[in-house]
Structures are given as C-alpha cells and as structure tokens.
C-alpha cells in the first residue's frame, strides 16, 4: 500500500507540474493588497493618452501577442539589448510600437508601488484597456505574471507567426502555444484594426513564388489598387496600409468579410480560407452578431494571456521594463 501511495503522490505532483506553469496563480485583482490602485493607474494612463494616439490599441494588442508567443507572457519583448539580439531586434518586432508607452506606465507605477507590478501585467492590462477605449471588446485580465530576464531574437523569429505563413505553419505555431484553430481565427480578427508596412505583404504583389508573379489567392482588383496607390515597388519598407480598409479604427466583422472576398492583406489571412475548419469558423462568426464575436474574441484573449506565465517565485519584477536586470 505504501508503494501505491508513493506512486499516486508522484503522479499527482507530476500532473501539478504539467498544469502549473500555464495556469498557476494568476488571479483577478492580484495587486489588491500590494498596490490597490495598480489597475486604475494603467486604465487612467491609457484613457488620458489613447484619444491622441488611437492607433496604439492595435499596436499594444500586437505587442501582447508577440510577447506571449515567445517564452510566454513575461514582458521579454520589452528588453533592450546592447548586442542587438533581443526579441525586439528580430524581424517580426522591428515594427512593433508602444515600448515607450509601456515604460511610461511603469514609471508611474514604480512611483506609487516600487517593485510590485510586473511589465508583463502592464502589457496585458494596457492592451485590453486600449482596445476597450477605442470601442472594442472587453475581457478579463487576471494578474500576477512575473517578468522574464531572457530575450532572444532567434526565439522571436522562430515562434511569432509571420504574415507570410501558410495554414500549416499557422496551425503549428498556434498549437505550440496551446491555442487551437478557433483561437487562430478569432485572434486573427484583431487585424480588423491597425495598419501594416508594405514590406509585410509586397511579395504577394510582385514576387510570390520568386518569379516576379502575383499571389493568385489575392483578389486581382485589390492587388492592382495596392500596387498603384499604396506599394509601388517590392522594396517599399516605409509606406503603411490599412489591414481592414475603410474600417481600421473600428473593431468589427469587416476583416472576415474581406478575407472571404480574397482581400485579406496577408498571406496568413488568406490561409484561413484554405482549411475547412477555419473557413467554417469564419462563416460562423459572420452569421452571428458583433457582440457574439466580442465574447468569443475575449475568451481567446484570456487564453492567450495565460500562455506559460511565470508566477510566484518564478521570474522577477523588473524595475525598468527595457532592462533585463533592473
């Protein structure tokens, strides 16, 4: 019997070890006793600045996504590197914006509650608040994340889904984070707000297979418009283009309608129509209301925000978000 008890105990500890890192110890109002106004400070800061820079909603949402896909939601995307090999130096993060905004919030929090609120939690809270203040969905953000101190550009390059992804690549990279095909479709819906640089999709216009050709999956009229009015050459790295033309400031269903019309900007958008499950998910979303989409999007965001979080004694609380050992 003692042997059986030992085996049972070992098994239970093993299972806790499996579940622990992903779901452990995040809770609503985690800072209620240590920094009671933490979430209000973040919310007020976002509220006071978002009207002057509404595009920050999409930028912060993207930052949160890129942070969580590399070593979990641990704020490592914020770390600067003197040698140029941190996550933010990787190609997918070269156009990420909002680093100064997060650091400014951190400065306010450090003045109120030194060493208490993590940079990872600030990203999670600020991205939610920015989306809400611009009329988008709301979702629960349990807190208690700790910050990481490791930030590698190679890991960002390997784990963040590029806009040139086909379906297989998207499925694999999302599954690696514990996200399923429904999450893939819903989180892609964030492309309903924000902009992109031409460099993220000009291969579809000018050199899709390396032979100077155009992506046949892209609507020809839309492609012609992009070529003549937005991105006149393959080498345009500066021009920005709406991801959801005519509706980029509104969190709505327009993105999915465009995807079905073969007018999704990225190859990764188009890829969602190449699999029967994700295509069915898009059609199901479009049959429902915006409110229903908001609710489902919120569920996937909450799930993403728990990816491999560091809690308790794991990780640290960095005093300066851009400095690994602060």
Bridge partners (DSSP) listed for residue 242: 195
Q: What DSSP assignment string belongs to 168-230?
A: HHHHHHHHTTT--HHHHHHHHGGGGS-EEEGGGTHHHHH-TTSSS---TTS-HHHHHHHHHHT
Question: Is-contact 266 277, C-beta < 8 A?
Answer: no
Does the annotation flag 215 for ligand binding? no
Residue 109 tokens read as 């929090």
Length of the chain: 326
Residue 250 in marked binding region:
no
Beta bridge partners of 310: 146
Rounded Cα gap, residues 278 and 191, in angstroms: 16
Contact present, 301 and 127 (Cβ < 8 Å):
no
The 3-state DSSP class for residue 65 equals helix
67 marked among binding-site residues: yes
Q: Residue 161, annotated ligand binder?
A: yes
192 is in an annotated binding site: yes
136 has binding-site annotation? no
Is 66 one of the catalytic residues?
yes
244 is known to lie in a ligand binding site: yes
**Both tokens assigned to 144:** 């208690």
Look up tokens 């059609």; give the residue. 283
Distance CA(183)–CA(221), nearest Å, equals: 30
Nearest to 63 by CA among 54, 50, 73: 73
Residues 270, 303: contact at Cβ < 8 Å? no
Query: Which of 49, 64, 66, 197 is the catalytic position?
Result: 66
- Feature table: binding site: 67, 70, 72, 74, 76, 87, 161, 191-192, 244, 252
Residues carrying an active site annotation? 66
- Feature table: binding site for Ca(2+): 67, 70, 72, 74, 76, 87, 192, 244, 252
- Feature table: binding site for substrate: 161
């Amino acid at each position: 019997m003692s042997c059986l008890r030992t085996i049972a105990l070992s098994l239970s500890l093993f299972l806790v070890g499996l579940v622990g890192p992903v779901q452990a110890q995040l809770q609503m109002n985690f800072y209620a006793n240590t920094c009671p106004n933490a979430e209000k400070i973040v919310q007020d800061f976002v509220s006071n600045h978002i009207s002057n820079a509404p595009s920050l909603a999409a930028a912060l949402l993207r930052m949160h996504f890129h942070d969580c896909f590399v070593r979990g939601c641990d704020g490592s995307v914020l770390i600067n590197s003197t040698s140029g090999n941190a996550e933010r130096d990787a190609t997918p993060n070269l156009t990420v914006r909002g680093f100064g905004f997060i650091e400014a919030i951190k400065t306010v929090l450090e003045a109120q509650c030194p060493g208490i609120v993590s940079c990872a939690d600030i990203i999670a809270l600020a991205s939610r608040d920015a989306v809400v203040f611009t009329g988008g969905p709301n979702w629960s953000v349990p807190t208690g994340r700790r910050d990481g101190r490791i930030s590698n550009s190679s890991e960002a390059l390997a784990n963040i889904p590029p806009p040139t992804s086909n379906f297989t690549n998207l499925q694999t990279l999302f599954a690696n984070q514990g996200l399923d095909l429904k999450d893939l479709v819903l989180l892609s819906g964030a492309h309903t707000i924000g902009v992109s640089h031409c460099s993220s999709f000009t291969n579809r216009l000018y050199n899709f297979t390396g032979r100077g050709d155009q992506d046949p999956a892209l609507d020809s009229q839309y492609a012609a418009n992009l070529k003549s009015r937005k991105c006149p050459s393959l080498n345009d790295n500066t021009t920005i283009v709406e991801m959801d033309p005519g509706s980029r400031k509104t969190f709505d269903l327009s993105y999915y309608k465009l995807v079905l019309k073969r007018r999704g900007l990225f190859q990764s958008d188009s890829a969602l129509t190449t699999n029967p499950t994700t295509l069915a998910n898009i059609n199901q979303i479009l049959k429902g209301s915006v409110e229903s989409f908001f609710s489902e999007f919120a569920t996937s965001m909450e799930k993403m925000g728990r990816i491999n979080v560091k809690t308790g004694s794991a990780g640290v609380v960095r005093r300066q978000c851009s400095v690994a050992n602060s």
